[in-house]
Every structure is written in C-alpha cells, then in structure tokens.
Structure 1
Amino acid sequence: MPVITGKQPLPAQFWAVWTATLINRAGGFVIIFLAIYLTSERGFSETTAGLVIGLYGLGGAIGVTAGGHLTDRWGRRPTALLALGSASVLMIALGLVRGEVAIMVAAGLLGLAAEAARPALGAMITDIVPDADRMRAFNVYFWAINLGFAVAAVLAGFASSAGYFWLFAADAVTTAFAAVLIAVRTRETRPAHLEAKHEGGSLAAVARDRVFLGFIACNLMIALVLLQHMSMLPLAMVEEPLPPSTFGVVIALNGILIVVGQLGLTRLLVRRRPAYILPVSVVVIGLGFGLTAFAHTPVWYGATVLVWTLGEMLNAPANSALLAGLSPVAMRGRYQGGYSLSWQLASFLAPTLGGAVRDHAGNTTLWLGCLGLGLAAGAWNLLAAPARERRVRDLAAEERETSLATI
C-alpha cells in the first residue's frame, strides 16, 4: 500500500475498501466506451445514445438515494455487496441485450445498482477512520479512484479490440471481484447501538438540515463548473480549430497530475481544516476554467487544466472529510446519498446549461461564468465555515456521549 503521512496507520478495513475501489475503477470500461459502443456497434443515433446515457444517470440518482437509505437501515456491508453484485450481473445483461428499449432498461438498472454502492462505501470509510485521520484517508481514496480510471481508460482500448462484449465481461469480473473482497475482508461497520435499535432519521430530516443543504448547494455549484471539462471544453478546443486528439492529450494531464501529485498533498492537508480548504479549492477551480476564455493554443489549454486540477485535488478530500463530519452517525448513508445526488444532478445540468450559455452568449461568457460560480461558491463556503465547524464538533460530541452510554 502507499506510504501515507500521519501519526497512525490507516485501518486494515480501510485498505480493503481502497483496494476494492481501485480494482472496480480499473475495470470500469463500460461507461468510458458506452457512447461509442451504442453508435458504432448497435447503430444508435447520437440522440438515442445520449438518452441511454441519460437513463444511466437517472438510475444513478435513484441508486444513491436508495443506497443511502439501505446503508442506514440495513447496513453498510450488505448494501455494498448487493449493489456491486447486482451491477456485475447487469453489466453482462447490458452487453447481451439487443433493441433500444431493452438497452435503455438495462442501462437504467445498471446505473441504479452501480451508484447505490457509493453511499455504503463512503459511510463505511467514515465509520472505520477516526475523525483526525479522515482527511488523509479520503485523499488517498480519491487517488485510488483516479488511478483506477486512468488504468481503465488505457485498458479499455485493448479490450475493445477483442470485441465490445469483452468490455462488459471484464467490467463485470472486476466488479464481482470487488464485491468478493468486501465480503471477505470487511465486517459490518455500522455502530452496534444503531444495529440493535435500528435508529435513524427520515429523509425529511436531511432536507431540514440547513447547514448540510448549504454544503450540498456549494458542491452543486462547483460540480457544474468541473463537469464542463466533459462537455463544453472539447467543443471549445475543436472550434479553435484543434484536432480531437489534442483534447485527449490535454485532458490526460488531469489524471496524470492527480496520480502523480495527490499523495504529495497529504502532508500539506493533514493538519488543515477542511472547512477552510474548500473556499480556496473552489476559487482555484473557478480560476482555472475562467482562464479557458483566453486559451487558444494546446499549451494554454494545458495550463488551464493544471490550474483547475490543483483545485480539484484540494477539493475532493476536503469535501469528503467535511461531509463525514457533518453526517449524524445514524444517517451517514443518507447524507452520503444526498451528496452523491448533487453530482448526479450536476452531470445532467452541466452539459445542458453549458450548452445553452455557449449557444446564446458564446464561449467567453461560459468560461467567465464558471469563474463567477467559483468565486460565489468560495465566498459561500468561507462564510459558512464557522457554522459547519460548530456542527462537526457538536455531532462528534454527541457521538462520543452515545458511545459511552452504550458501554
């Protein structure tokens, strides 16, 4: 395992979840090549292919909500096993079915199953890792996710050369292997007093948490900016005109920088307060995308990617650590699900709103608008930081009192 700076080694169960996630992401071929598979192999129009991918996203939105509820009510481990096991089977189903309706249904169900594992794994890490170590734990977890994605992007090309079905088969095998690893190397992490009493609030309680809703709103704002790299950035580069291969090289800098540099941030982040890292990170992200308004060459585009990637590297572990602290122990799954839902919503809104702004106001307005969103999210995060830290302290004290009372 990577050497992680910190006073105490991270728990063995964390490394089991880390390894399962790395394996699962390294075999995540289907989503990377789904649009190409649908148009070239199945003969779908771009509109129909987009609808299928949208249904995957819709299924994912339902999945993170249902997965969060099951995580709290049923348990972290069984929810993760059900989600990963179902996703493995549905990968094969999606590769075998024919016809538009059948593929749409399979894609929606796959999105539901695959994304339902997120709240369970997030809650499991929060249960396993002490509060003082969560920043570095989520830092290295974010690194594993990106390393896995980078490996998948490379291996998917080789797998597709043998036939598209092997993409689905390989993805199914790695997903199943991740499930087996969770089954063999982890135990249920939900606190014992919750298992005994089946405690937990309702989804309405999440909706009434104004501190948490503000946190989610800020995350949605910056997610709308970050996800422009998947939709509007390639269009802007092609219009220069630059060849599509140039976009591939430029965007690869994002993954390379994260894989090479993320672990190096551990020493810097370990003693910093997540609530105050967030404002800095979102401003850097907004600045990186804002500078795209002035980019016209591959080198300049590459420089903008480096800037917003640095912001992303600061943002991801701080966001996850703060999310963990803001989540009441009895509702960690649902809070994780609410956070994941903001990303699912952004995955739909980012290309929709980005395309509308670009069509009606132009590229410059789009990128400067991203800068504006980053600055607004930074100000909001900064103003909200004291209230968030108070909530984290109050919930930690409440959890300690509850744990002592059950001894």
Structure 2
Amino acid sequence: MVRLRSAASSTFGGLPGAFWWIWLGILVNRMGGFVLPFLAFYVTGPLHRSAALAGAVTALFGVGAATSSVIGGVLADRVGRKPTLVGSLFANAATIVALGYARSPWLLGLGALAVGLAANASRPAQSAMIADLVPVGADRVRAFALAFWAVNIGFAVSMSAVGLVTRFGFLALFYADAATTALCAVLIAAMVRDTTPFEAIEAAAVGTAGNSAARAGAERAKAARTGSRVAGDGLGAVLRDRPFVAFVATWFVVLAVYDQCQVGVPIAMAAGGLSAGTFGRISAINGVLIVLLQMPVTRLLRRYPEGRVLAGASLVIGAGFGVLAFGQSIAMYVLCVVVMTLGEIGGTPPAQAVTARLSPDHLRGRYQGVYQLSWTTSQIVAPLAGAAVIGSYGGTPLWIGCFAASAVAALAYLRIGAHLEHRVAAARAVEQQSAELAAVV
C-alpha cells in the first residue's frame, strides 16, 4: 500500500491546479474525437468513395493543420496562449459540424481543410501553456506524459463508442465530436488563466519597479508581443536552430509511418470487409494500452538519454506496421496496434519535452508550432503515400516501407542524439538558473 501511494504521488503529485484543468479539457475533447481517426474509413466505407479520395481528403486535413500549426504558434506568443486556444477550439467545433454535411468530393476536401485549419491552431498554445505552468526537469516530462495519457484515455473511449454512436447515424459522430470540443473550450475559458510570459513579466516589473532585471524582463515581454528582433527574430530564429530542425525532420519520418494507423490500416480493413465497430474496437486497444502503460513506462525511460529513447521508439513503431507484411487478419491488426503503441508510448512525451526545453520562453509558441509541423506535414504525406501504395500495389509494400523508414529515423536519432542531449542539458542549466534568480528576486 505504501509503495502504491508513493507511485501515485510520483505520478500525479506536485503539479499546479491549472494543469489539471487543461488535462481535463484534453480528456473531454478526445472522448468525442471520432472524426479524424474515422475519416478515411468513413469516406471509403459509408460514403462508398475510392481510397484515392480518402487519401486526398485526409491529406487536405493535413494541409490545413500544417498551416495552422505555425500560425497558432505565432498567435500563442503574440496574442496569448489562452485566446488562441479557446478561439481555435470553438472554430474547430463549428467546422466539424460543417464537414458532417459534406458529400461531394469538393465539399469533403474543403471541409477537411477547414477542420485542419481550426484544429491544429490550438495545439502549440496548449503545449506552451503546459510548459509555462510546469516547473523544469522531470516534472515537465511527466506533465506531457499525463497530457498524452489523457489524449489516449479519450481515444480509447471514443473508439470503443463508435459502434454505439453510429446507431444514431454517422452524422452523430460529427455532432458528438463538436460538442466535446466546445466543452473543452468552455472549461479552459472558465478555469485557466492566460500563461503568456509577457503578462507575468510585466506584472513582476510593476511590482518591482526598481529592479533592473524585472525591467529588462518587461522589455523582452514587449518585444515578444510585437514580434520585434529583440525577441530573437521570431520564427526565423527557430528555423535557424539546425539541431532542432533536424530533430523535427526526423520525428516527421516517424510520424509519417505512425499515421498509417489513420490511413493505411483503415483503408486495408475496409477493403477486407471489416465493420466500423471492428475498426473502432481494434483502434481502442491503442488508447487502453497507453492508459495502462504510459506512466510506468515514462518513469522507466526517464533514466535514459532522450536520443536513445527516441531511436528505440522509432524502430518499435515501424516494427508494429511491419508485422502486417506477414498477414492482415484481425489477429495481425491487433498485434500491429500493440507493438506500434509501445513505440508511441516511449517516443511522444520525450519529443514534446525536448521541444519545450530547447525553446526560449518568448519563442515557446513558435517552437511548439514548428514541432507540430512534424505531426501535420505527416498528415499530408502519409495519406497520399499510403493510399497510393495500397491502391497500386496492395498493403505488403506499404508495411515493408514503414519498417524501413522507421529504421532510418532510428539511425538518425542515434546520430544526432549526443548533440541533442548536450542542448537539453544546457537548457536545463539555464532554466534552473532562471528559477533560482526568480526566487531571489
């Protein structure tokens, strides 16, 4: 019992209350997250459209998401974390409902593009808020792991409920998704303050007007608000950070493989005559495993260097899809999800934490926006590549290619890992010094 209480304390204790409201909002939002995981299946199944159209529609979602990830990151630094997050969530709810009424190829494409534009603008702001709220070090990795945990609790619930919700018609999926997205926006608007650094720094400057460090902080805050060169040249400073860009590019390769769970796998399952309920139940295994294993695995892996953890996670994700080259029965789809999920558990929280550590406070939204590009551009490439390969050659070449690409990414992470670890260590030292200085002031 004592050991259980200690594990619970090390997992859930010591995090600020505002973080838990964000966590709850993520959970509520993802419990109704039907549309994106179901989109390719919906187009090829209930709408009886081609795999090529399903790939194109999903890719257009990725185009919108890629565009809004950068815009959302800039807005999170200039306008504020909270306004960007709440506004984009309400916009996302509206676009999801509109997509539910689309039937023609053009309207499906435009609807998916609009959903992508609205949906992904919220993610840099959300990640930046978590990084703003949570202290440096292991707590921040744990906070991102808990946020990822909430995503997957919600995902497990939503995928398990697909069959039930579709009894009311497929349009019900879109309304349920929109409703939970809007509820998340209401929770954040009502319960979480804005964490944008310029507000906190300016408040400190007012309270300690004679302190030169505080005044300098206020000047940096004003620069962040206006996007001037004093704030570090804005987005250009992020793009000139070569180790970070290499990290993001490699993560993109991993995610282009991972995203086949939303494109290649559902298209192959629909072609094999499997039902929407079967697809939902198999997909739900991903969320269930993450709920059970995410926090224990996070505690286990935090003792290892991030570069090696990311390399191992990349290889395991590819191996999950690689098993489908040996057969595409229900049992093999289950095995694919189990293995792929183990890699996802190991890789995603460290990737988010590395991004937060490498980014200066006043550019945190922009760094998160560029990091989100790895997720969003993969949502463009993966649907087009997956649908094209399956449509022309069948599934086996796609699954072999997934494993090969992930192996290349793993080698890349081993190569850049030492430099990445040096940067992370330096960032930790700077953050610790800043925290000590703030305590003195």
After TM superposition, the score normalised by the length of structure 1 is 0.86
Q: Which amino acid aligns with 1:263?
A: M
Q: Distance in 1 between matches of 2:398 and 2:40?
A: 25
The corresponding residue for 2:213 is none
The corresponding residue for 1:58 is 63
The corresponding residue for 1:131 is 136
For residues 333-360 of structure 1, the C-alpha deviation after alignment (integer angstroms, 9 at most, x for no partner) is 1111112111111122123334555567
Say which of 289, 302, 318 aligns to 2:334. Answer: 302
Contact 1:211/1:387, CA 8 A, preserved across alignment: yes
Unaligned runs of 5+ in 1: none
For residues 242-288 of structure 1, the C-alpha deviation after alignment (integer angstroms, 9 at most, x for no partner) is 84576655444323222222233243134443333111211222233
Deviates more, 1:30-39 or 1:125-134: 30-39
* Deviation (angstroms), 1:38: 6.2
For residues 191-216 of structure 1, the C-alpha deviation after alignment (integer angstroms, 9 at most, x for no partner) is 22454442353222222111011101
Contact 1:72/1:200, CA 8 A, preserved across alignment: no
Q: Distance in 1 between matches of 2:54 and 2:386?
A: 19
Q: Which amino acid aligns with 1:146?
A: N
- Superposition map of 1:253-402 within 5 A: 253-295=285-327, 297-357=329-389, 363-399=395-431
Say if 1:80 and 1:32 are closer, same or farther in 2 by CA, change over 3 A: same
Contact 1:136/1:269, CA 8 A, preserved across alignment: no
Say if 1:16 and 1:90 are closer, same or farther in 2 by CA, change over 3 A: same
Say if 1:110 and 1:226 are closer, same or farther in 2 by CA, change over 3 A: closer
* Deviation (angstroms), 1:290: 2.7
* Deviation (angstroms), 1:116: 0.4
Say if 1:219 and 1:136 are closer, same or farther in 2 by CA, change over 3 A: same
* Number of residue equivalences: 405
The corresponding residue for 2:34 is 29
Contact 1:201/1:330, CA 8 A, preserved across alignment: no
For residues 188-241 of structure 1, the C-alpha deviation after alignment (integer angstroms, 9 at most, x for no partner) is 2122245444235322222211101110111011112212233334566678x6
* Deviation (angstroms), 1:58: 1.8
2:18 is the alignment partner of 1:13:
yes
Structure 1 vs Structure 2: percent identity of aligned residues? 41
Q: Distance in 1 between matches of 2:60 and 2:431?
A: 39
2:96 is the alignment partner of 1:91:
yes
Deviates more, 1:201-210 or 1:105-114: 105-114
Q: Distance in 2 between matches of 1:402 and 1:8?
A: 23
For residues 372-395 of structure 1, the C-alpha deviation after alignment (integer angstroms, 9 at most, x for no partner) is 222221121122122112222333
The corresponding residue for 2:183 is 177
Matched residue SS, 1:262: helix
* Deviation (angstroms), 1:93: 4.0
Contact 2:88/2:119, CA 8 A, preserved across alignment: yes
Say if 1:338 and 1:256 are closer, same or farther in 2 by CA, change over 3 A: same
Say if 1:200 and 1:91 are closer, same or farther in 2 by CA, change over 3 A: farther
Say if 1:293 and 1:42 are closer, same or farther in 2 by CA, change over 3 A: closer
The corresponding residue for 1:217 is 249
Say if 1:349 and 1:4 are closer, same or farther in 2 by CA, change over 3 A: farther
- Superposition map of 1:195-234 within 5 A: 195-198=221-224, 199-234=231-266
Q: Which amino acid aligns with 1:217?
A: A
- Superposition map of 1:42-121 within 5 A: 51-95=56-100, 104-121=109-126
Matched residue SS, 1:312: helix
The corresponding residue for 2:153 is 147
* RMSD of aligned residue pairs (Cα, Å): 3.3
Contact 2:41/2:266, CA 8 A, preserved across alignment: no
The corresponding residue for 2:174 is 168
For residues 142-178 of structure 1, the C-alpha deviation after alignment (integer angstroms, 9 at most, x for no partner) is 1110111222223344334334444333333222221
For residues 52-94 of structure 1, the C-alpha deviation after alignment (integer angstroms, 9 at most, x for no partner) is 4433322211111110110111111111011112222333444
Matched residue SS, 2:369: helix
Q: Distance in 2 between matches of 1:102 and 1:360?
A: 26
Say if 1:102 and 1:242 are closer, same or farther in 2 by CA, change over 3 A: closer
